[in-house]
Amino acid sequence: MALLFKILSRPEWGAFRQSGRFAGSAVDIRDGFIHFSYAHQLAETARRHFANQPDLVLFAVAREAVAHDLRDEVSRGGDLFPHLFAEVSFTDVLWMKPLQQDYQGFPILPAFEEA
């Protein structure tokens, strides 16, 4: 199973959990889709976009759960990134893990297995 990953602030995660739906962060809403990353893209996404931001969480969704509204589109370095053109349902979340920061302020990604 291919996984999609998304980093959120703790307040964004709390709102998602409470409402059961996630339409995206401010950047996602501005761009018209929810930015996700595949496993091999996650470290660079965390480093580039979430450095020095405390109290973050990482969640995973199975690609198959949202495939009908998902497009792989060219982004950073010509790589194909998963962009979701729909809301995410909380029931599609496989797991969530809080993120810590290293001494330089970069998110430390937890160990996970991609089945």
| Residue-wise pLDDT tens digits, 3-25 | 999 999 999 999 999 999 999 99
CATH number at residue 79: 3.20.170.20
Residue 76 has pLDDT above 80, yes or no: no
Q: Note whether residue 115 is domain-resident.
A: no
Residue 115 has pLDDT above 60, yes or no: no
Q: Note whether residue 113 is domain-resident.
A: no
Cα(32)–Cα(18) distance, integer angstroms: 23
Radius of gyration of the chain (CA): 13
Tokens of 97: 């893990």
**pLDDT at residue 114 in the model:** 64
Q: Note whether residue 20 is domain-resident.
A: yes
Q: Note whether residue 51 is domain-resident.
A: yes
Count: domains in the chain: 1
- How does residue 72 score in pLDDT terms, banded at 50, 70 and 90? very high
Sequence-distant (≥ 6) Cβ neighbours of residue 106 within 8 angstroms: 46, 47, 51
Q: Note whether residue 79 is domain-resident.
A: yes
Q: Note whether residue 96 is domain-resident.
A: yes
Cα(106)–Cα(109) distance, integer angstroms: 9
Q: Note whether residue 13 is domain-resident.
A: yes
**Which residue segment(s) compose the domain that 24 sits in?**
3-108
Q: Note whether residue 76 is domain-resident.
A: yes
